[in-house]
A = this chain, B = another copy of it.
Amino acid sequence: MLRAYDRLAMTAAEKHQAARTSTSVPPPVAGRCPPPRGGARLNGRAGIRDVAAAAGVSITTVSDALNGKGRLPDATRSHVREVAERLGYRPSAAARTLRTGKSGLIGLTVTTYGEEPFTFTEFAYFAEMAAAATSAALARGYALVILPAPARSGPAGGGGPDVWSNVALDGTVVVDPSAQDPIVSELLRSGLPVVSDGRPSDSLPVAAWVDNDHEAAVRGILDHLAESGARRIGLLTGTSTDTYTRLSTTAYLDWCERVGQEPVYERYPAHDPCAGAVAADRLLARPDRPDAVYGLFDPNGTDLLAAARRYGLRVPEDLLLVCCSESPAYATTAPPITTLSLKPGRIGNAVTQLLIDAIEGLAPARPVQRVMPTELIVRTSSRRGSARTTVSAPRAPASE
């Protein structure tokens, strides 16, 4: 059996050799081929042709053997694999991508403010979300590339060459897409699957989106504060028009109207960390000072705590505090601060799974809309009177 195979292999090798020689150097034609074309180009590494020659088979057979396709006896398959291993053969990702049209790369982009490639005020959220997305992508054989959004929407344009056109993507995750983002519309026009983190505008026909139920989260927090004895609840919110800010603020105003409380809120540009401290101060300096505050952004907790100290307000006796944050640091502040976690890890995972489903054609016809729950981690800053334990925080950074 093996002997028969060996004879076959020899014959094939001879034939191949003959064909190769007579083809690559057609005697009468002028001398071209600056490199002898038989040696190793490819920057010194072996190509599929070298493997084929060394194994005494054709290129097709090498490709089939390594990719588990075609009809090949196990003897040939293992022989080719062995030779490829010996030569240290690594297939060229670029060539494969060109031929198959699939690169195994998915993009991740997010609206930017200023120089940072992603929103600084949501750094913890984004870091955790991106980490989960990276994990999920790798687990399914994809790699994740972080790409910049266009610098603001000004005429300046991003500095340097366009990175977007230099990477072959199979699909893209977009965080908090805006309706007029040229990148997103370009992606959609080109037919690439796009999945968004955050409810997109109706005019963006993304394949799927994932978002928290921000309205329900805000209602839950306000109810919780009211149950803890708050009479006038204030809000620290942003001036940006992204979905998160808009939905949360609207939910706050609706809640106020429903329970008959006059809204008490301050807005500030959320991308400016200093403005947050100033806004926290403003909120507590008002004549109609609230006795509870919910802050929409991560640094609001420490800012509000500092402002409360300046005004001599005790937390939680004089002021109840909740903020939206992913930082475990709020478990160890004095006092520990109740936080709303958006569970970015879950979102990053979900959004990646949906994108890869869409890439691999597993997607349903209609766009998938998935709403993920948030988690309220109740700590001292929002407990007053009877310590009513609702949800306890993990004592160490959650391993998600």
A interface residues, Cβ below 8 angstroms from B: 43-45, 88, 90-98, 101, 103-105, 115-118, 120, 123, 127, 131, 134-135, 138-148, 159-161, 163, 165-168, 189-191, 273-274, 276-277, 299, 302, 305-306, 327-334, 395-397, 399
Contacts and interface: CB of A to CB of B under 8 A. Distances in A.
Nearest to A103: B94
B189 A123 contact: no
Nearest to A169: B93
B299 A396 contact: yes
Of A95, A120, A146, chain B has the most CB atoms within 10 Å of the CB of A146
A399 B116 CA distance: 9
B143 A167 contact: yes
A345 to B, nearest CB: 11
12 contacts: A43-B101, A90-B165, A93-B103, A94-B98, A104-B166, A105-B167, A117-B134, A123-B397, A138-B148, A141-B166, A273-B396, A329-B330
Of A94, A96, A147, A191, chain B has the most CB atoms within 10 Å of the CB of A94
Contacts of A277: 395-396
B160 A139 contact: yes
Given A88-B189, A95-B98, A138-B163, 15 more contacts: A88-B190, A90-B165, A92-B98, A93-B168, A103-B166, A115-B135, A117-B134, A127-B131, A134-B146, A143-B145, A143-B146, A143-B163, A143-B167, A277-B396, A333-B334
A101 B147 CA distance: 21
B334 A105 contact: no
Nearest to A121: B397
A166 B131 contact: no
A328 to B, nearest CB: 8
B43 A191 contact: yes
Contacts of A165: 90-91, 93
Contacts of A333: 329, 332-334
Contacts of A117: 131, 134-135, 138
Of A90, A117, A135, A161, chain B has the most CB atoms within 10 Å of the CB of A117
Question: Shortest 6 CB-CB distances between A and B: which pairs?
Answer: A329-B329, A334-B334, A127-B127, A93-B168, A94-B97, A104-B166
Contacts of A143: 145-147, 163, 166-167
Contact of A135 (B94, B116, B161): B116
Nearest to A127: B127
Contacts of A127: 123, 127, 131
A146 to B, nearest CB: 5
A272 to B, nearest CB: 10
A45 B191 CA distance: 9
A305 B396 CA distance: 13
Contacts of A147: 138, 143
A43 B191 CA distance: 9
A393 to B, nearest CB: 12
Contacts of A103: 93-94, 166-167
A340 B151 CA distance: 34
B166 A93 contact: yes
Nearest to A192: B43
Nearest to A107: B143
B144 A145 contact: yes
A308 to B, nearest CB: 12
